[in-house]
Protein backbone atom coordinates (compact mmCIF):
# COMPACT_ATOMS: atom_id res chain seq x y z
CA UNK A 1 0.00 0.00 0.00
CA UNK A 2 2.71 2.40 0.98
CA UNK A 3 4.40 1.94 -2.37
CA UNK A 4 1.22 2.87 -4.22
CA UNK A 5 0.75 5.88 -2.00
CA UNK A 6 4.28 6.99 -2.65
CA UNK A 7 3.81 6.68 -6.37
CA UNK A 8 0.34 8.14 -6.79
CA UNK A 9 0.06 10.76 -4.06
CA UNK A 10 2.30 13.13 -6.05
CA UNK A 11 -0.24 13.02 -8.89
CA UNK A 12 -2.90 14.07 -6.43
CA UNK A 13 -0.59 16.80 -5.16
CA UNK A 14 -0.06 18.01 -8.70
CA UNK A 15 -3.80 18.13 -9.29
CA UNK A 16 -4.37 19.98 -6.03
CA UNK A 17 -1.70 22.51 -6.86
CA UNK A 18 -3.27 23.19 -10.22
CA UNK A 19 -6.75 23.45 -8.72
CA UNK A 20 -5.82 25.75 -5.89
CA UNK A 21 -3.38 27.87 -7.90
CA UNK A 22 -2.70 30.23 -5.04
CA UNK A 23 0.33 32.46 -4.80
CA UNK A 24 1.29 30.37 -1.81
CA UNK A 25 1.98 27.36 -4.02
CA UNK A 26 5.50 27.02 -2.73
CA UNK A 27 4.37 26.42 0.84
CA UNK A 28 1.81 23.95 -0.37
CA UNK A 29 4.44 22.19 -2.46
CA UNK A 30 6.81 22.06 0.48
CA UNK A 31 4.11 20.56 2.68
CA UNK A 32 3.35 17.92 0.08
CA UNK A 33 7.00 17.08 -0.36
CA UNK A 34 7.39 16.75 3.40
CA UNK A 35 4.37 14.47 3.49
CA UNK A 36 6.06 12.28 0.90
CA UNK A 37 9.21 12.31 2.98
CA UNK A 38 7.15 11.24 5.96
CA UNK A 39 5.79 8.33 3.93
CA UNK A 40 9.25 7.33 2.82
CA UNK A 41 10.50 7.41 6.40
CA UNK A 42 7.55 5.29 7.47
CA UNK A 43 8.58 2.78 4.83
CA UNK A 44 12.14 2.89 6.12
CA UNK A 45 11.05 2.27 9.68
CA UNK A 46 8.97 -0.75 8.81
CA UNK A 47 11.54 -2.09 6.35
CA UNK A 48 13.11 -5.43 7.18
CA UNK A 49 16.69 -5.40 5.92
CA UNK A 50 16.92 -9.15 5.53
CA UNK A 51 13.54 -9.82 3.94
CA UNK A 52 14.17 -8.91 0.30
CA UNK A 53 11.44 -7.16 -1.67
CA UNK A 54 8.71 -5.68 0.50
CA UNK A 55 5.58 -3.53 0.32
CA UNK A 56 4.65 -5.35 -2.88
CA UNK A 57 1.53 -4.68 -4.89
CA UNK A 58 0.79 -7.11 -7.67
CA UNK A 59 -2.20 -6.50 -9.95
CA UNK A 60 -2.69 -7.58 -13.54
CA UNK A 61 -2.73 -4.57 -15.76
CA UNK A 62 -3.08 -5.81 -19.32
CA UNK A 63 -3.58 -9.47 -18.71
CA UNK A 64 -3.48 -10.56 -22.35
CA UNK A 65 -0.01 -9.15 -22.79
CA UNK A 66 1.36 -10.29 -19.46
CA UNK A 67 1.78 -6.74 -18.20
CA UNK A 68 1.40 -6.22 -14.49
CA UNK A 69 1.18 -3.37 -12.13
CA UNK A 70 3.80 -4.88 -9.90
CA UNK A 71 5.73 -2.62 -7.56
CA UNK A 72 7.69 -3.17 -4.38
CA UNK A 73 10.85 -2.15 -2.63
CA UNK A 74 14.02 -3.94 -1.83
CA UNK A 75 16.93 -2.15 -0.21
CA UNK A 76 18.18 -0.54 -3.40
CA UNK A 77 14.72 0.76 -4.29
CA UNK A 78 14.16 2.03 -0.79
CA UNK A 79 17.42 3.97 -0.80
CA UNK A 80 16.58 5.74 -4.03
CA UNK A 81 13.03 6.40 -2.88
CA UNK A 82 14.50 7.97 0.25
CA UNK A 83 16.94 10.01 -1.79
CA UNK A 84 14.10 11.31 -3.96
CA UNK A 85 11.92 12.16 -1.01
CA UNK A 86 14.76 13.85 0.90
CA UNK A 87 15.82 15.94 -2.06
CA UNK A 88 12.35 17.10 -3.06
CA UNK A 89 11.76 19.33 -0.01
CA UNK A 90 15.29 20.67 -0.36
CA UNK A 91 14.82 21.47 -4.03
CA UNK A 92 11.51 23.17 -3.26
CA UNK A 93 13.12 25.13 -0.43
CA UNK A 94 15.87 26.22 -2.78
CA UNK A 95 13.23 27.51 -5.21
CA UNK A 96 11.56 29.83 -2.72
CA UNK A 97 13.02 33.00 -4.14
CA UNK A 98 12.39 32.05 -7.75
CA UNK A 99 8.65 32.81 -7.71
CA UNK A 100 7.64 29.60 -9.40
CA UNK A 101 4.04 29.11 -10.43
CA UNK A 102 1.73 26.32 -9.36
CA UNK A 103 2.22 24.53 -12.66
CA UNK A 104 5.95 24.39 -12.05
CA UNK A 105 5.47 22.54 -8.80
CA UNK A 106 2.75 20.41 -10.36
CA UNK A 107 5.21 19.27 -13.02
CA UNK A 108 7.71 18.48 -10.30
CA UNK A 109 5.21 16.23 -8.58
CA UNK A 110 4.21 14.47 -11.79
CA UNK A 111 7.90 13.81 -12.25
CA UNK A 112 8.10 12.42 -8.74
CA UNK A 113 5.50 9.83 -9.70
CA UNK A 114 7.69 8.79 -12.59
CA UNK A 115 10.86 8.69 -10.49
CA UNK A 116 9.37 6.70 -7.64
CA UNK A 117 7.68 4.43 -10.16
CA UNK A 118 10.97 3.65 -11.86
CA UNK A 119 12.64 2.91 -8.54
CA UNK A 120 9.89 0.52 -7.43
CA UNK A 121 8.63 -1.11 -10.63
CA UNK A 122 8.99 -4.86 -10.81
CA UNK A 123 7.54 -5.21 -14.27
CA UNK A 124 9.57 -4.33 -17.34
CA UNK A 125 6.79 -2.56 -19.15
CA UNK A 126 5.78 -0.62 -16.08
CA UNK A 127 9.41 0.38 -15.65
CA UNK A 128 9.42 1.75 -19.16
CA UNK A 129 6.18 3.66 -18.65
CA UNK A 130 7.43 5.35 -15.50
CA UNK A 131 10.75 6.01 -17.19
CA UNK A 132 8.96 8.13 -19.79
CA UNK A 133 6.61 9.67 -17.24
CA UNK A 134 9.65 11.03 -15.43
CA UNK A 135 11.11 12.48 -18.61
CA UNK A 136 8.19 14.53 -19.88
CA UNK A 137 7.67 16.88 -16.91
CA UNK A 138 11.35 17.73 -16.66
CA UNK A 139 11.37 18.38 -20.38
CA UNK A 140 8.72 21.03 -19.86
CA UNK A 141 10.43 22.42 -16.79
CA UNK A 142 13.60 22.94 -18.81
CA UNK A 143 11.76 24.16 -21.87
CA UNK A 144 9.58 26.71 -20.13
CA UNK A 145 11.81 27.96 -17.36
CA UNK A 146 15.29 27.43 -18.82
CA UNK A 147 17.92 29.84 -20.06
CA UNK A 148 18.23 31.61 -23.40
CA UNK A 149 19.08 28.60 -25.55
CA UNK A 150 16.53 26.41 -23.92
CA UNK A 151 14.55 25.43 -27.00
CA UNK A 152 17.41 24.00 -28.97
CA UNK A 153 19.18 22.45 -26.02
CA UNK A 154 16.11 20.92 -24.47
CA UNK A 155 15.07 19.48 -27.79
CA UNK A 156 18.42 17.78 -28.16
CA UNK A 157 18.19 16.44 -24.62
CA UNK A 158 14.73 15.11 -25.30
CA UNK A 159 15.56 13.43 -28.59
CA UNK A 160 18.73 12.01 -27.16
CA UNK A 161 17.13 10.37 -24.14
CA UNK A 162 14.08 9.32 -26.12
CA UNK A 163 16.35 7.56 -28.57
CA UNK A 164 17.89 5.70 -25.66
CA UNK A 165 14.52 4.81 -24.20
CA UNK A 166 13.36 3.36 -27.51
CA UNK A 167 16.43 1.14 -27.69
CA UNK A 168 15.64 -0.07 -24.21
CA UNK A 169 11.99 -0.65 -25.10
CA UNK A 170 12.97 -2.68 -28.14
CA UNK A 171 15.33 -4.78 -26.06
CA UNK A 172 12.72 -5.32 -23.35
CA UNK A 173 10.14 -6.39 -25.92
CA UNK A 174 12.59 -8.80 -27.48
CA UNK A 175 13.35 -10.43 -24.16
CA UNK A 176 9.62 -10.44 -23.38
CA UNK A 177 8.94 -12.35 -26.58
CA UNK A 178 11.45 -14.95 -25.47
CA UNK A 179 9.64 -15.65 -22.22
CA UNK A 180 8.08 -19.11 -22.29
CA UNK A 181 4.34 -19.80 -22.63
CA UNK A 182 2.13 -16.83 -22.21
CA UNK A 183 4.60 -14.02 -22.35
CA UNK A 184 5.23 -11.89 -19.30
CA UNK A 185 6.85 -8.57 -18.61
CA UNK A 186 7.53 -9.48 -14.97
CA UNK A 187 11.15 -8.60 -14.21
CA UNK A 188 11.58 -11.96 -12.52
CA UNK A 189 10.40 -13.67 -15.69
CA UNK A 190 12.63 -11.56 -17.87
CA UNK A 191 15.63 -12.52 -15.69
CA UNK A 192 14.85 -16.18 -16.38
CA UNK A 193 15.20 -15.89 -20.14
CA UNK A 194 18.37 -17.56 -21.32
CA UNK A 195 19.63 -16.24 -24.60
CA UNK A 196 22.73 -17.03 -26.54
CA UNK A 197 25.84 -14.98 -26.12
CA UNK A 198 25.54 -13.11 -29.41
CA UNK A 199 21.97 -11.94 -28.75
CA UNK A 200 22.81 -10.98 -25.22
CA UNK A 201 25.67 -8.89 -26.55
CA UNK A 202 23.30 -6.94 -28.80
CA UNK A 203 20.76 -6.55 -26.02
CA UNK A 204 23.50 -5.44 -23.68
CA UNK A 205 24.38 -2.57 -25.96
CA UNK A 206 20.79 -1.56 -26.59
CA UNK A 207 20.05 -1.35 -22.89
CA UNK A 208 23.45 -0.01 -21.90
CA UNK A 209 23.19 2.91 -24.31
CA UNK A 210 19.79 3.84 -22.88
CA UNK A 211 21.21 4.04 -19.39
CA UNK A 212 24.55 5.45 -20.49
CA UNK A 213 22.74 8.40 -22.02
CA UNK A 214 20.73 9.01 -18.90
CA UNK A 215 23.70 9.07 -16.51
CA UNK A 216 25.60 10.03 -18.78
CA UNK A 217 28.67 7.95 -19.51
CA UNK A 218 31.33 9.06 -21.98
CA UNK A 219 30.85 9.40 -24.99
CA UNK A 220 27.07 9.64 -24.63
CA UNK A 221 27.28 12.80 -22.56
CA UNK A 222 27.14 15.61 -25.06
CA UNK A 223 23.57 16.60 -24.13
CA UNK A 224 24.45 16.94 -20.48
CA UNK A 225 26.65 20.04 -19.99
CA UNK A 226 24.38 22.21 -22.12
CA UNK A 227 21.21 20.92 -20.54
CA UNK A 228 22.49 21.21 -16.99
CA UNK A 229 23.76 24.69 -17.67
CA UNK A 230 20.65 25.97 -19.35
CA UNK A 231 18.02 24.27 -17.23
CA UNK A 232 16.51 26.24 -14.36
CA UNK A 233 18.21 25.57 -11.05
CA UNK A 234 15.50 23.17 -9.85
CA UNK A 235 15.59 21.36 -13.18
CA UNK A 236 19.31 20.78 -12.91
CA UNK A 237 18.91 19.55 -9.36
CA UNK A 238 16.20 17.13 -10.45
CA UNK A 239 18.26 15.92 -13.39
CA UNK A 240 21.53 15.42 -11.57
CA UNK A 241 20.36 14.81 -8.04
CA UNK A 242 17.75 12.21 -8.84
CA UNK A 243 17.05 11.51 -12.48
CA UNK A 244 20.50 10.34 -13.46
CA UNK A 245 20.26 7.74 -10.71
CA UNK A 246 17.55 6.15 -12.84
CA UNK A 247 20.31 5.20 -15.23
CA UNK A 248 22.50 3.72 -12.52
CA UNK A 249 19.52 1.96 -11.02
CA UNK A 250 18.73 0.59 -14.47
CA UNK A 251 22.20 -0.91 -14.72
CA UNK A 252 21.65 -2.75 -11.47
CA UNK A 253 18.03 -3.73 -11.93
CA UNK A 254 17.71 -4.30 -15.68
CA UNK A 255 20.97 -4.52 -17.59
CA UNK A 256 23.12 -6.68 -15.38
CA UNK A 257 20.64 -9.39 -14.37
CA UNK A 258 19.10 -9.60 -17.85
CA UNK A 259 22.23 -9.93 -19.92
CA UNK A 260 24.80 -11.71 -17.79
CA UNK A 261 26.60 -13.16 -20.80
CA UNK A 262 26.55 -9.86 -22.60
CA UNK A 263 28.06 -8.42 -19.47
CA UNK A 264 30.81 -10.99 -19.55
CA UNK A 265 31.74 -10.00 -23.07
CA UNK A 266 31.18 -6.28 -22.91
CA UNK A 267 31.36 -5.34 -19.24
CA UNK A 268 35.02 -4.43 -19.49
CA UNK A 269 34.35 -2.17 -22.47
CA UNK A 270 31.66 -0.37 -20.50
CA UNK A 271 34.02 -0.12 -17.55
CA UNK A 272 36.77 1.36 -19.66
CA UNK A 273 34.34 3.91 -21.13
CA UNK A 274 33.43 4.91 -17.59
CA UNK A 275 37.10 5.29 -16.70
CA UNK A 276 37.78 7.42 -19.75
CA UNK A 277 34.82 9.55 -18.75
CA UNK A 278 36.28 10.11 -15.29
CA UNK A 279 39.55 11.49 -16.58
CA UNK A 280 38.07 13.25 -19.59
CA UNK A 281 35.33 15.04 -17.71
CA UNK A 282 37.70 16.00 -14.88
CA UNK A 283 40.07 17.62 -17.33
CA UNK A 284 37.23 19.47 -18.98
CA UNK A 285 35.82 20.62 -15.66
CA UNK A 286 39.19 22.17 -14.96
CA UNK A 287 39.01 24.61 -17.88
CA UNK A 288 35.44 25.79 -17.41
CA UNK A 289 34.67 29.36 -16.43
CA UNK A 290 30.98 28.90 -15.76
CA UNK A 291 30.60 27.40 -12.29
CA UNK A 292 27.43 25.54 -13.21
CA UNK A 293 29.07 24.00 -16.23
CA UNK A 294 32.02 22.98 -14.11
CA UNK A 295 29.69 21.12 -11.76
CA UNK A 296 28.03 19.53 -14.79
CA UNK A 297 31.36 18.11 -15.98
CA UNK A 298 32.38 17.08 -12.50
CA UNK A 299 29.11 15.21 -12.32
CA UNK A 300 30.09 13.18 -15.39
CA UNK A 301 33.36 12.30 -13.66
CA UNK A 302 31.66 11.24 -10.44
CA UNK A 303 29.02 9.22 -12.25
CA UNK A 304 31.80 7.58 -14.24
CA UNK A 305 33.28 6.32 -11.01
CA UNK A 306 29.93 4.94 -9.88
CA UNK A 307 29.43 3.18 -13.21
CA UNK A 308 32.95 1.79 -13.08
CA UNK A 309 32.15 0.44 -9.63
CA UNK A 310 28.95 -1.20 -10.87
CA UNK A 311 30.85 -2.98 -13.61
CA UNK A 312 33.45 -4.25 -11.13
CA UNK A 313 30.70 -6.54 -9.84
CA UNK A 314 31.73 -6.92 -6.23
CA UNK A 315 29.98 -6.16 -2.99
CA UNK A 316 32.27 -3.37 -1.91
CA UNK A 317 32.05 -1.46 -5.16
CA UNK A 318 28.30 -1.90 -5.23
CA UNK A 319 27.80 -0.70 -1.71
CA UNK A 320 30.13 2.15 -2.58
CA UNK A 321 27.94 2.99 -5.54
CA UNK A 322 24.84 2.93 -3.34
CA UNK A 323 26.55 5.29 -0.95
CA UNK A 324 27.83 7.50 -3.72
CA UNK A 325 24.42 7.71 -5.41
CA UNK A 326 23.01 9.13 -2.19
CA UNK A 327 26.02 11.28 -1.54
CA UNK A 328 26.19 12.65 -5.05
CA UNK A 329 22.49 13.43 -4.96
CA UNK A 330 23.02 15.49 -1.84
CA UNK A 331 26.15 17.41 -2.72
CA UNK A 332 25.19 17.94 -6.36
CA UNK A 333 21.95 19.53 -5.21
CA UNK A 334 24.00 21.67 -2.84
CA UNK A 335 26.51 22.71 -5.48
CA UNK A 336 23.86 23.60 -8.02
CA UNK A 337 22.17 25.65 -5.34
CA UNK A 338 25.46 27.44 -4.78
CA UNK A 339 25.66 28.09 -8.52
CA UNK A 340 22.19 29.61 -8.51
CA UNK A 341 23.05 31.74 -5.49
CA UNK A 342 26.00 33.16 -7.40
CA UNK A 343 23.77 33.92 -10.32
CA UNK A 344 20.82 35.36 -8.45
CA UNK A 345 22.97 37.57 -6.26
CA UNK A 346 25.64 38.80 -8.62
CA UNK A 347 24.06 38.23 -12.02
CA UNK A 348 26.84 35.94 -13.19
CA UNK A 349 28.18 32.45 -12.79
CA UNK A 350 31.38 33.30 -14.58
CA UNK A 351 34.05 32.60 -12.01
CA UNK A 352 36.40 35.15 -13.48
CA UNK A 353 33.92 37.86 -12.57
CA UNK A 354 33.42 36.64 -9.03
CA UNK A 355 35.74 36.71 -6.04
CA UNK A 356 36.05 37.73 -2.43
CA UNK A 357 32.58 36.46 -1.56
CA UNK A 358 33.94 34.90 1.60
CA UNK A 359 34.47 38.36 3.02
CA UNK A 360 30.86 39.31 2.56
CA UNK A 361 29.28 36.07 3.49
CA UNK A 362 31.17 33.91 5.99
CA UNK A 363 28.22 31.64 6.73
CA UNK A 364 27.74 30.86 3.06
CA UNK A 365 31.48 30.29 2.82
CA UNK A 366 31.55 27.63 5.52
CA UNK A 367 28.55 25.75 4.16
CA UNK A 368 29.83 25.88 0.60
CA UNK A 369 33.20 24.60 1.76
CA UNK A 370 31.68 21.62 3.57
CA UNK A 371 29.63 20.67 0.52
CA UNK A 372 32.67 21.09 -1.69
CA UNK A 373 34.73 18.86 0.60
CA UNK A 374 31.97 16.28 0.35
CA UNK A 375 32.25 16.39 -3.41
CA UNK A 376 36.01 15.85 -3.37
CA UNK A 377 35.63 13.00 -0.92
CA UNK A 378 37.40 14.22 2.16
CA UNK A 379 37.23 11.66 4.98
CA UNK A 380 34.35 12.13 7.41
CA UNK A 381 32.16 13.31 4.55
CA UNK A 382 29.74 11.04 2.72
CA UNK A 383 31.76 11.44 -0.46
CA UNK A 384 34.73 9.70 1.09
CA UNK A 385 32.78 6.60 2.08
CA UNK A 386 31.47 6.22 -1.45
CA UNK A 387 34.81 6.90 -3.09
CA UNK A 388 36.72 4.69 -0.70
CA UNK A 389 34.46 1.70 -1.27
CA UNK A 390 34.20 2.30 -5.01
CA UNK A 391 37.93 2.63 -5.52
CA UNK A 392 38.58 -0.28 -3.18
CA UNK A 393 36.11 -2.45 -5.06
CA UNK A 394 37.58 -1.37 -8.36
CA UNK A 395 41.03 -2.19 -7.03
CA UNK A 396 39.87 -5.72 -6.25
CA UNK A 397 38.64 -6.00 -9.80
CA UNK A 398 41.71 -4.55 -11.51
CA UNK A 399 44.32 -2.65 -9.55
CA UNK A 400 45.37 -0.37 -12.40
CA UNK A 401 41.81 0.71 -12.95
CA UNK A 402 41.65 2.04 -9.41
CA UNK A 403 44.81 3.95 -10.21
CA UNK A 404 43.18 5.60 -13.21
CA UNK A 405 39.88 6.25 -11.45
CA UNK A 406 41.79 7.54 -8.44
CA UNK A 407 43.11 10.39 -10.56
CA UNK A 408 39.73 11.95 -9.90
CA UNK A 409 40.91 12.44 -6.31
CA UNK A 410 43.63 14.74 -7.60
CA UNK A 411 41.67 16.41 -10.40
CA UNK A 412 38.67 16.91 -8.14
CA UNK A 413 40.84 18.87 -5.74
CA UNK A 414 42.34 20.84 -8.63
CA UNK A 415 39.13 22.09 -10.18
CA UNK A 416 37.00 22.39 -7.06
CA UNK A 417 39.58 24.27 -5.03
CA UNK A 418 40.31 26.35 -8.10
CA UNK A 419 36.64 27.25 -8.33
CA UNK A 420 36.47 27.94 -4.62
CA UNK A 421 39.44 30.24 -4.83
CA UNK A 422 38.14 32.12 -7.83
CA UNK A 423 34.69 32.69 -6.42
CA UNK A 424 35.13 32.95 -2.68
CA UNK A 425 38.68 34.07 -1.98
CA UNK A 426 40.79 36.98 -3.09
CA UNK A 427 39.39 40.46 -3.53
CA UNK A 428 35.83 41.20 -4.48
CA UNK A 429 35.54 41.46 -8.25
CA UNK A 430 31.86 41.64 -8.99
CA UNK A 431 30.26 45.04 -8.69
CA UNK A 432 27.37 43.65 -6.71
CA UNK A 433 27.69 42.82 -3.07
CA UNK A 434 27.00 39.20 -2.18
CA UNK A 435 24.44 39.29 0.59
CA UNK A 436 24.66 36.83 3.42
CA UNK A 437 22.24 33.89 3.23
CA UNK A 438 18.71 34.43 4.43
CA UNK A 439 16.99 31.95 6.73
CA UNK A 440 15.55 29.65 4.07
CA UNK A 441 18.84 29.48 2.23
CA UNK A 442 20.74 28.85 5.42
CA UNK A 443 18.39 26.04 6.38
CA UNK A 444 18.65 24.44 2.95
CA UNK A 445 22.43 24.49 2.85
CA UNK A 446 22.78 23.51 6.50
CA UNK A 447 20.65 20.41 5.98
CA UNK A 448 22.73 19.48 2.97
CA UNK A 449 26.03 20.06 4.76
CA UNK A 450 24.74 18.26 7.83
CA UNK A 451 23.72 15.19 5.81
CA UNK A 452 27.14 15.12 4.15
CA UNK A 453 28.92 14.98 7.50
CA UNK A 454 26.38 12.70 9.17
CA UNK A 455 26.65 10.09 6.44
CA UNK A 456 30.41 10.47 6.41
CA UNK A 457 30.71 9.68 10.10
CA UNK A 458 27.95 7.10 10.27
CA UNK A 459 27.42 5.55 6.84
CA UNK A 460 26.51 2.08 8.02
CA UNK A 461 22.69 2.39 7.75
CA UNK A 462 22.97 3.17 4.04
CA UNK A 463 25.35 0.28 3.44
CA UNK A 464 23.16 -2.07 5.44
CA UNK A 465 19.98 -1.18 3.59
CA UNK A 466 21.51 -1.69 0.16
CA UNK A 467 23.83 -4.58 1.00
CA UNK A 468 21.61 -7.68 1.07
CA UNK A 469 19.63 -6.71 -2.05
CA UNK A 470 22.83 -6.02 -3.93
CA UNK A 471 24.37 -9.29 -2.89
CA UNK A 472 21.29 -11.05 -4.20
CA UNK A 473 21.69 -9.57 -7.66
CA UNK A 474 25.42 -10.22 -7.63
CA UNK A 475 24.68 -13.82 -6.71
CA UNK A 476 22.40 -14.17 -9.75
CA UNK A 477 25.07 -13.11 -12.19
CA UNK A 478 27.88 -14.98 -10.53
CA UNK A 479 25.65 -18.02 -10.64
CA UNK A 480 24.74 -17.69 -14.32
CA UNK A 481 28.25 -16.95 -15.41
CA UNK A 482 29.49 -19.94 -13.41
CA UNK A 483 26.91 -22.25 -14.95
CA UNK A 484 27.63 -20.95 -18.44
CA UNK A 485 31.19 -22.17 -18.23
Residues whose CB falls within 8 Å of the CB of residue 435, separated by 6 or more in sequence, listed in order: 345, 360, 361
Q: Which positions from 183 through 242 interact with other proteins, judged by CB under 8 A? A: 219, 221-223, 225
Q: Is 476 in the site for other proteins (CB under 8 A)?
A: no
Residues whose CB falls within 8 Å of the CB of residue 46, separated by 6 or more in sequence, listed in order: 2
Sign of CA dihedral 202, 206, 211, 212: positive
Q: Quick one: which segment of 7-15, 25-33, 191-199, 455-463 binds other proteins (CB under 8 A)?
A: 455-463
Q: Is 163 in the site for other proteins (CB under 8 A)?
A: yes
H or E element, residue 6: helix 2-20
Among 402, 445, 452, 455, binds other proteins (CB under 8 A): 402
Say whether 123 sits in a helix, a strand or coil.
strand
User: Residues touching other proteins: how many (CB under 8 A)?
Assistant: 58
Identify the burial level of 479 via C-beta atoms within 10 angstroms of its C-beta, where 0-12 means exposed, 13-18 middle and 19 or more buried. exposed
Beta bridge partners of 415: none
User: What is the smallest separation between the CB atom of 73 and other proteins, expressed in angstroms?
Assistant: 21
User: What is the smallest separation between the CB atom of 203 and other proteins, expressed in angstroms?
Assistant: 21
Among 255, 307, 389, 455, binds other proteins (CB under 8 A): 389
Nearer to other proteins, 186 or 387 (CB): 387
Among 103, 179, 268, 366, binds other proteins (CB under 8 A): 366
Residue 479 CA to residue 416 CA, distance in Å, equals 42
448 in Cβ contact with 396 (< 8 Å): no
Q: How many helices (H) and strands (E) does the chain have?
A: 21, 2
Nearer to other proteins, 116 or 424 (CB): 424
Nearer to other proteins, 192 or 396 (CB): 396
88 in Cβ contact with 147 (< 8 Å): no
Per-residue interface string for the shown chain with other proteins, residues 323-362, x marking contact by CB under 8 A: ---------------------------------x-xx--x
- List alpha helices for 123-255, DSSP H: 124-145, 150-177, 187-192, 197-214, 224-230, 233-236, 244-250
Q: Quick one: which segment of 8-16, 42-50, 157-165, 174-182 binds other proteins (CB under 8 A)?
A: 157-165
Task: Give the residues lining the site for other proteins (CB under 8 A).
Answer: 156, 159-160, 163, 219, 221-223, 225, 280, 283-284, 286-287, 314-316, 319-320, 356, 358-359, 362, 366, 373, 378-380, 384-385, 388-389, 391-392, 395-396, 399, 402-403, 406-407, 409-410, 413-414, 417-418, 421, 424-427, 457-460, 463, 467
Amino acid sequence: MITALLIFLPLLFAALLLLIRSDKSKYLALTFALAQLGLAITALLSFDKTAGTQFEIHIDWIKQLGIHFHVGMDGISLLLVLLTCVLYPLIILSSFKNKRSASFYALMFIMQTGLLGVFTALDGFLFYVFWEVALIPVYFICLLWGGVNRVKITFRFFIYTLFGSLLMLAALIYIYLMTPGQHSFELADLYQVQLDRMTQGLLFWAIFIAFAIKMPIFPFHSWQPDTYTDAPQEGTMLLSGIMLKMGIYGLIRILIPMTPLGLEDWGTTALVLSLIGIVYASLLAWVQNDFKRLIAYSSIAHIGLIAAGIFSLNTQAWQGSAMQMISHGIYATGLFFVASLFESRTGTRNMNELGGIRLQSPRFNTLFLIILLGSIGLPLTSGFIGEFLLLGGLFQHQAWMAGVAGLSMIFGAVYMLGAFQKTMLGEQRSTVLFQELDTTETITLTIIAGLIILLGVYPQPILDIAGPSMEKILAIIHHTSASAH
